A = this chain, B = another copy of it.
Amino acid sequence: GFAKIDHHRALRRGVPEVIFCQGKTPEQVARITRRMLEKGVNIMGTRADLKVYEEVRKIAPDAEYYKDARIFAVKREKIVQNKGTIAVVSAGTSDIPVAEEAAVTAELLGNKVERLYDVGVAGIHRLFMNMEVLKRAQVIIVVAGMEGALASVVAGLVDKPVIAVPTSVGYGANFSGLSALLTMLNSCAGGLTVVNIDNGFGAGFAAHQINRLGGQADGCALS
């Protein structure tokens, strides 16, 4: 026996059910997917490798796979779109998988996303050349490993909610992301909040909940 499925969907309005695939066999994921699909909901699976996706496609041939984000999605319901934009800013090439997990999560939850990658602190001028992306956004997600200083810099430049995602990218005294995590938690730049190391999903989800407060694309009020 395994994962019971949450039937309390009243509040969700198209928000996909989420399966955390890490530590589950492709068969387990497929079985959970099948049971969920019977209710006609949207589904997304995070930390899904290709094998998981292939097993899921046997059950749902319309499943899509976001390779960089390691996410699969099955879309069966329309999802309400939020008005504001979420910016996803990332520091280095190796942080991209986590940044994509955040970006694709936010998109699947009904948000416009603008990506600004490879703007690490060592090359801070690249950030300044793209300030308009930060200005356009309602919420900003900053993804950075190693010393994670990018989050402080961004939050120091803008006056908006910034969600920081430390990544495990780095080596040595990085201690698998601890370094970036502590940097972000200790930031003296106001308005910064933090999620778990490598938790792109959590950042995308929280950014969506914040972005929703700014209203929906079609103007429908938030109850």
Contacts and interface: CB of A to CB of B under 8 A. Distances in A.
A185 interface: yes
Given A84-B213, A118-B3, A159-B11, A191 B169 contact: no
6 contacts: A124-B156, A160-B209, A173-B181, A180-B186, A183-B183, A193-B194
Interface string A147-183: 1110011011101110100101111111111111111
Contacts of A147: 148-149, 152, 182-188
B186 A205 contact: no
Contact of A190 (B28, B174, B202, B211): B202
Contacts of A58: none
Contacts of A24: 93-94
A79 interface: no
Given A153-B149, A161-B210, A210-B213, A189 B122 contact: yes
Given A179-B186, A213-B214, A157 B193 contact: no
Given A2-B118, A3-B118, A178-B182, A149 B187 contact: yes
| Identical copies of this chain, number | 8
Most buried by B among A28, A121, A180, A198: A121
Q: Which 10 pairs show the lowest CB-CB distances between chains A and B?
A: A172-B197, A149-B149, A193-B193, A179-B182, A147-B186, A23-B94, A122-B189, A173-B185, A172-B196, A3-B93
B197 A195 contact: no
A34 interface: no
Given A23-B169, A163-B193, A182-B178, A188 B6 contact: no
Contacts of A177: 172-173
B193 A185 contact: no
A138 B213 CA distance: 8
Given A153-B124, A182-B179, A209 B159 contact: yes
A149 B183 contact: yes
Contacts of A198: 171-172
A153 B154 CA distance: 12
B192 A206 contact: yes
